[in-house]
Amino acid sequence: MAVKVLDESFGKVVLIKLKGGKVIRGVLHGFDQHMNLLLENSVEIFDDGKTSDLGSIVVRGDNVVIISPPPA
Amino acid sequence: MAVKVLDESFGKVVLIKLKGGKVIRGVLHGFDQHMNLLLENSVEIFDDGKTSDLGSIVVRGDNVVIISPPPA
Amino acid sequence: MAVKVLDESFGKVVLIKLKGGKVIRGVLHGFDQHMNLLLENSVEIFDDGKTSDLGSIVVRGDNVVIISPPPA
Amino acid sequence: MAVKVLDESFGKVVLIKLKGGKVIRGVLHGFDQHMNLLLENSVEIFDDGKTSDLGSIVVRGDNVVIISPPPA
Amino acid sequence: MAVKVLDESFGKVVLIKLKGGKVIRGVLHGFDQHMNLLLENSVEIFDDGKTSDLGSIVVRGDNVVIISPPPA
Amino acid sequence: MAVKVLDESFGKVVLIKLKGGKVIRGVLHGFDQHMNLLLENSVEIFDDGKTSDLGSIVVRGDNVVIISPPPA
Amino acid sequence: MAVKVLDESFGKVVLIKLKGGKVIRGVLHGFDQHMNLLLENSVEIFDDGKTSDLGSIVVRGDNVVIISPPPA
């Protein structure tokens, strides 16, 4: 199920909420069944709306709470 | 067991309580045996009753505490 | 072992204590070997004894600390 | 190993310490290899020595820290 | 590896440090590959050096941080 | 997926964010499918930008939140 | 990968950082694929640089964050 949704989000901007409250936005360039994610042009988004460039990152799947794919 | 309940809730509004206290409401459009969930038109519901639009989201199952299917 | 006890509690009122302190009471209508539970007519019970209706819910088993089956 | 010890404690009073500090005493009437426990006539024991009746309960094994079998 | 060390400590006094800071000392009378431990004549040791008798206990292995076997 | 990204980062500087907030930078000299990492010439980076030399280290994969490979 | 690094550190002094912040230094005399470690002549190192003798210890691998092998 998750794989199908992530598959449709490939190459698109996704919003990721992690355990501990970190929020990350980036272009989805890879994933696997553990929800490990590869994001390009990613930024961390802070509570005040400011962002910090992260560039290309791998997110370990066990930290993920919510993935928001782009609007259809 | 969980799969059967979720199957009957397919396409209906469900309320999800996550570890850490986050509460989310959305239309169930997918799930798997890990309780990974795909919700459409979802909103986060805050303690004061206010909501914040989340749209379409994937919730990683290991964060789930309680799923409330819609009344039968 | 747990399955046998839960089997005998089927259709009866059980009290569930979750990690983090949440207490829930409801009629057991389903379960599996992970202690995922399906409760009907469930309520959350607060420290002061007040309750809040939850209706029909699925509890993800990894949150469960204690299940009290009804008296024999 | 644990199974053998629990087997010898069957039908006897055991003291259970859980993650988070909860302490429970009850008669061991069942267990499995995950240390899921079935206790009868169980009570929670508070820091001040007071107790609260819990009756018959299932304890999910992943919450267990220490099990004290009865003296041989 | 752990099994070999524990095997050599069989029947001897070991010191156990648990997650959350609890410290326990006892005679090792059993163990398995999960580091579940059976200790006899065990005591909990507090920060101020005082001890509290625990007698015979099973420690669930996932709580263990450090096991100190007796000096060779 | 993660393996492919890490493979391309082999011998290059990566930035690692761990659970609990620790940030480490080092040259990636090894990894496996659990995201266990071998870093050479690594430093811990503190909030104020100061660094502390760690040299050659193994990071246990379950602590990893984010891995930033070097810019392509 | 981790096994190879640990293999090369056999019989040498390693520095171990654990979840929760404990820091331990000792001579590596054993390990397995879970990163369970056997350390000889080990000491705990406190924030102020003071140390406390631990002697021979087994560290359960799931507590490990970072292992620093000795300089090559």
Contacts of B15 (CB under 8 A, 6+ apart): B23, B24, B25, B67, B68
Q: What whole-number distance in Å separates Cα of residue F67 and Cα of residue E38? A: 40
Among chain E residues, CA nearest to G24: E66
Mutate to test the interface with E, among D7, D8, D65 (most CBs of E within 10 A): D65
What are the structure tokens assigned to A36, written together? 């490990």
Q: How far is D69 from chain E (nearest CA, A)?
A: 6
Sort out which chain G residues have CB atoms less than 8 A from E67's CB and list them. Answer: 57-58, 60
Q: What is the pLDDT of residue G72?
A: 55
Contact D36 C6 (CB under 8 A): no
Domain ranges of chain A: 2-68
- Tell whether C4 lies on the interface with D, counting CB pairs under 8 A: yes
| Whole-number Cα distances in Å, G39 to C71, E1, G5, G71 | 51, 11, 15, 18
Instruction: Please tell me which chains touch A, using 3 or more CB pairs under 8 Å as the contact test.
Output: B, F
| Whole-number Cα distances in Å, F23 to B6, C37, F8 | 40, 40, 21
Q: What is the pLDDT of residue C71?
A: 65
Beta bridge partners of E68: E15
Tokens 């609260």 -> residue: D52
pLDDT tens column, A5-24: 888 999 999 999 999 999 99
**Considering only residues 39 to 68 of chain B, which have any Cβ-Cβ distance to chain C shorter than 8 Å?**
61-62, 64-68
Give the SS3 label for residue A31: strand
pLDDT tens column, C13-31: 999 999 999 999 999 999 9
Question: When comparing pLDDT for G1 and G65, which is higher?
Answer: G65
Fold of D2-68: SH3 type barrels. (2.30.30)
What are the structure tokens assigned to A37, written together? 């994610």
Contact F30 G5 (CB under 8 A): yes
Of the partner residues D1, D65, D68, the one whose CB lies closest to the CB of residue E63 = D65
> Which CATH class, in words, describes the domain spanning G2-67?
mainly beta
Task: Supply angle C-alpha F35, F37, F38, rounded to 5.
Answer: 165
Q: What is the pLDDT of residue G2?
A: 76
Q: Give all strands (DSSP E) within chain D, no chain letters.
A: 13-18, 23-31, 37-45, 51-59, 64-68
Phi-psi region of C21 (alpha: psi -120 to 50; beta: other; left: phi over 0): left
Instruction: Please tell me which chains touch B, using 3 or more CB pairs under 8 Å as the contact test.
Output: A, C
Task: Supply angle C-alpha E63, E66, E69, rounded to 5.
Answer: 125
- Tens-of-pLDDT digits for all 72 residues of chain E? 777 888 899 999 999 999 999 999 999 999 998 999 999 999 999 999 999 999 999 999 999 999 998 665
Give the predicted TM-score (pTM) of the model: 0.92
Query: So what's the ipTM on this one?
Result: 0.92
The residue type at A38: L
Rg (CA), chain A: 11
* H or E element at residue C65: strand C64-68
Of the partner residues A18, A30, A58, the one whose CB lies closest to the CB of residue F67 = A58
pLDDT tens column, G39-69: 999 999 999 999 999 999 999 999 999 999 8
Sort out which chain F residues have CB atoms less than 8 A from G64's CB and list them. Answer: 60
Q: What whole-number distance in Å separates Cα of residue D64 and Cα of residue E61? A: 10
Interface size D-E, in CB pairs within 8 Å, comes to 46
